A and B are shown apart, each in its own frame.
Chain A
Amino acid sequence: LAKTTQPISMDSYEGQEVNITCSHNNIATNDYITWYQQFPSQGPRFIIQGYKTKVTNEVASLFIPADRKSSTLSLPRVSLSDTAVYYCLVGDPGYSSASKIIFGSGTRLSIRP
C-alpha cells in the first residue's frame, strides 16, 4: 500500500499561490494520485487527479515529477474560501483494489485576509 505523507498544516494569505506537497515513496505502477478538499461538516470533494507530469483544471494544478515519488497540489490566488483540509491519496482506482485507497490525516490550510 502506498502510504502518503503531507504537512499537518499550512498558512497563507489571500491572493497568494499555495503549494501543498505529498510524499508517496512506495507508489506503484498502476497508482493514480488524487486530491480532495474537505470543509467542516461536509464530505470530501474531489479536486484533481493525475498519473504523471502536470494536470490542470479550473481550480488547481497537480505537478508530478518523473519518479512519481511525490506530487504537489497548486492552488493559484487563494481566497478565504479555500480554507479547508486537503487530502492526498494514492491508489489504483480499479475495482479490485478500490478498498486499498487510504486517506491520511490531510493538510489543514488556513487562509488569512
Chain B
Amino acid sequence: DVKVTQSSRYLVKRTGEKVFLECVQDMDHENMFWYRQDPGLGLRLIYFSYDVKMKEKGDIPEGYSVSREKKERFSLILESASTNQTSMYLCASSLGRDRAYQPQHFGDGTRLSIL
C-alpha cells in the first residue's frame, strides 16, 4: 500500500512565524500535491509538483511556497504565518507521466492553528 506521511497531525504556531509542513511518500510517485481544507470549501489546491525541483501554482498559492529537493519529499512553507492560514493541510501523491489510472493517495493531514 502507498503510504503518505505528514510530519505532524497537530501544530500550533504564532503569527509571523515561518512554518514548515513536511510530507513523504514511499511509492516513487512523480506527482505530489498540497491542499488545504476548510469547512464548506472542500479541498483547494495550493501547489503541485510533477518532478524534483518542479512546481506549479494551484488555486491559492498566495502566502505559501514549496520545496521538492528529493522525489519522495514535498515541503509546504508558510513564509510568514497569518491567522487566516489556520486550516487542515493535506498532502497527496500520484503516479505521473500520462498514466491513465492514477488516483491520488493522501496523508491524514496536519491541523495547523496560527495564534
A interface residues (Cβ-Cβ under 8 A, vs B): 32, 34, 36, 41-46, 49, 87, 93-95, 98-99, 101-106
Interface hit among B11-19, B68-76, B78-86, B100-108: B100-108
| B21 interfacial by beta-carbon distance below 8 Å | no
Measured between C-beta atoms, what is the minimum distance from B111 to chain A in Å?
8
Q: Tell me the residues in window 59-115 of chain B with beta carbons closer than 8 Å to chain A beta carbons.
A: 59, 90-92, 94, 96-109
Say whether B42 contacts A93, CB under 8 Å.
Answer: no
Total B residues in contact with A, Cβ cutoff 8 Å:
34
Question: Which of B30, B96, B106 is A44 in contact with, Cβ under 8 Å?
Answer: B106
Say whether A46 contacts B96, CB under 8 Å.
Answer: no
Question: Which of A43, A93, A95, A105 is B92 in contact with, Cβ under 8 Å?
Answer: A43
Beyond the given A43-B90, A87-B42, A99-B56, please list 19 additional residue pairs across the A-B interface where CB-CB is below 8 A. A42-B106, A43-B106, A43-B107, A45-B106, A46-B103, A49-B101, A93-B94, A93-B100, A93-B102, A94-B99, A95-B97, A98-B33, A98-B50, A98-B94, A98-B96, A101-B104, A103-B43, A103-B45, A105-B40
| B25 interfacial by beta-carbon distance below 8 Å | no
B interface residues (Cβ-Cβ under 8 A, vs A): 4, 30-31, 33, 35, 40-45, 48, 50, 56, 58-59, 90-92, 94, 96-109
Say whether A42 contacts B108, CB under 8 Å.
Answer: yes
Say whether B58 contacts A99, CB under 8 Å.
Answer: yes
Measured between C-beta atoms, what is the minimum distance from A24 to chain B in Å?
15
Chain B residue with the shortest CB-CB distance to A94? B98
Grouping DSSP codes into helix (H, G, I), strand (E, B) and loop, the A interface class, with mixed when no group exceeds half, is loop
Please measure, in the bound complex, the distance between the C-alpha atom of A43 and the C-alpha atom of B94, giving whole angstroms. 14
Which chain A residues lie closer than 8 Å to B42 at the CB level? 87, 103-106
Which chain B residues lie closer than 8 Å to A32 at the CB level? 100
Please measure, in the bound complex, the distance between the C-alpha atom of A32 and the C-alpha atom of B102, giving whole angstroms. 10
Which chain A residues lie closer than 8 Å to B97 at the CB level? 94-95
Measured between C-beta atoms, what is the minimum distance from A76 to chain B in Å?
21
Q: Decide yes or no: A41 and B109 within 8 Å by CB, A98-B50, A103-B42 being known contacts.
A: yes
Please measure, in the bound complex, the distance between the C-alpha atom of A95 and the C-alpha atom of B33, giving whole angstroms. 12
